[in-house]
A and B are shown apart, each in its own frame.
Chain A
Amino acid sequence: MMKRLRKLCDNEGVNLSEDIIMETLHHLPSKSLARFKCVSKCWQIYIADCRSQRWRPRPDFIGIFYQKRKHSQIRFFFESNNHNIDLDDSVNVLNRGVYIVASSNGFLLCTKHRKEPRVYCVHNPATRQYSSLPKTKICMEGDIAVGFICKVDNPNKDVILFTIVRYEIPRRWDELQLTVTIESFSSETNVWTANSIIFDAPLRLCPLNWDITSSASSAGVINGVFCWLDQVGRQITVYDSVYKCFWALEFPEETVSGCRCYLGLSGRPFYFALNYGKEINVWKLE
């Protein structure tokens, strides 16, 4: 008993050293860090330091977000250790099930509506922060091709920059099209803008998936260039958001026809890789 009393007294002054507090803060998610800035002025300084280090590239965090069927848990698959984490909990802040439309750098683009989505939100599963975007200008009734790129602009202030691009797949996709309307949103302006592009040569805008029931796939984005894999039309549709131009790249002739493939991108110069299960074709865009 005496020992216990003595112990309690000793502990009145338990003051952890700065480096231990910093080390502990490193293990907290960003949302808690932001909240604990209110603890004291010292903690605010520690946390600012912590956060500035947080956005360093983390090679062990390479993986993909995925979602099974509709309205089910959103999960993250870590490539490095074959490990899944459930993000179900964090998406609950959105009140009801959401569909992942696209993901970029750890951020998710979600929508509640499977059909004719006009309201999107950007969600950060790590901090549980989300922001709903204004309603889109255009109502797209058919399949929609979406592209999303998000990056951290200022880690101290939790500022992210993102761009969303979308276009509609015409119902009669077998017909040649002369124009496409690209609707895009930038977090810098906070408005949706629509922009019609007239093609140099007519092209087909096909559904992006063989499986019509699954939602259209999102674009791979590299240096402001959005690339969609069009399996039906055996082409890659490309939108350059810097030069505001749109074109289609046909698959090289030697590629196997009729089977499912996946697109990988790498810059610059652009390399495309198509994975056909057994083989991977890589080609360079010149």
Chain B
Amino acid sequence: MASSSSSSKTGLKKMLTLKSSDGDEFELEESIVIQCQTIKHMVEDGFSLIPLQNVDTKTLTKIIEYMKKHAEKTESNKEEIKNFNKEFVKGSFDDQFELVSAANYLHINGLMDLLCQSIADRINNKSVRAVREIFNISNDYTPDEEEKVRDEHKWAHEGGEFDESLD
């Protein structure tokens, strides 16, 4: 990428500082951080200290872990990255929601994809009621309206029990 050319010339790795909403600072190589489109644009605008008001320390730590691992991606460690991703999405729904919101805000496309797929896989077999709970959605249908929507797609509600658990 264009912005890394300056570091190779000087032999020094250009460092950036990310600051979480809790005030914690993390120093990272620019080459790692530019996976994140939002930061990449700020770097191009000349910033080297980047405050992230929407990302707390816990979430930022996880995201940095992800970016570091994925910066190491080569042809030969595909399997390793795959296992890393598998472990990475193991948290609770709330943890994943925090992460996905941060990934969306930071524009890390690979991480967005990974998290959305993981959330989708986890809710795929859930009941409608469980999904409402998990996403904190209140049911705004009247019972009649809900019945009507259900009737339109009867087949989708058939075929075994759906998972009522919230994890």
Name A's B-contacting residues (CB within 8 A): 7, 11-17, 19-21, 23-29, 31-44, 93, 127-129, 157-158
Contact = CB atoms under 8 A, between A and B. Distances in A.
B78 interface: no
B153 A32 contact: no
Contacts of B64: none
B33 interface: no
Given A16-B100, A24-B116, A158-B153, A36 B136 contact: no
Contacts, number: 96
Overall SS of chain B's interface = helix
Contacts of B3: none
Nearest to A93: B159
B116 A35 contact: no
A38 B116 contact: no
A20 B162 CA distance: 24
Number of chain B interface residues as a range: 35 or more
A43 B128 CA distance: 11
A29 B120 CA distance: 9
Interface string B67-110: 00000000000000000000000000010011011001000000
B7 interface: no
A152 to B, nearest CB: 15
Most buried by B among A13, A38, A128, A129: A38
Contacts of B150: 38
B141 A14 contact: no
Given A19-B104, A23-B112, A40-B141, A28 B124 contact: yes
Given A14-B97, A24-B116, A40 B153 contact: no
B124 A15 contact: no
A214 to B, nearest CB: 31
A93 B159 CA distance: 7
Contacts of A158: 153
Contacts of A33: 156
A26 B124 CA distance: 12
Nearest to A90: B159
B140 to A, nearest CB: 5
Given A11-B94, A32-B156, A158-B153, A38 B141 contact: yes
B131 A39 contact: yes
Contact of B101 (A16, A25, A36, A127): A16
Contact of B128 (A13, A15, A20, A39): A39
A39 B156 contact: no
B153 A37 contact: yes
A27 B120 contact: yes
A176 to B, nearest CB: 47
B101 A40 contact: no
Given A11-B94, A14-B97, A31 B156 contact: yes
B120 A20 contact: no
B155 A129 contact: yes
Contacts of B155: 31, 34, 127, 129
Given A13-B136, A15-B136, A39-B137, A34 B116 contact: no
Given A21-B135, A38-B141, 9 more contacts: A7-B58, A14-B136, A24-B120, A28-B123, A36-B128, A37-B149, A39-B131, A41-B140, A42-B140
A24 B103 CA distance: 13
Nearest to B135: A16
Interface string B138-157: 11110000100110110111
17 contacts: A7-B58, A11-B94, A11-B97, A14-B97, A16-B135, A20-B101, A24-B116, A25-B120, A27-B120, A28-B123, A31-B155, A32-B123, A36-B128, A39-B131, A39-B132, A40-B139, A127-B155
A258 B116 CA distance: 53
Contacts of A29: 124
A19 B112 CA distance: 11
A28 to B, nearest CB: 5
Nearest to B159: A93
Interface string B5-37: 000000000000000000000000000000000
Given A24-B119, A27-B117, A43-B137, A38 B146 contact: yes
A111 to B, nearest CB: 20
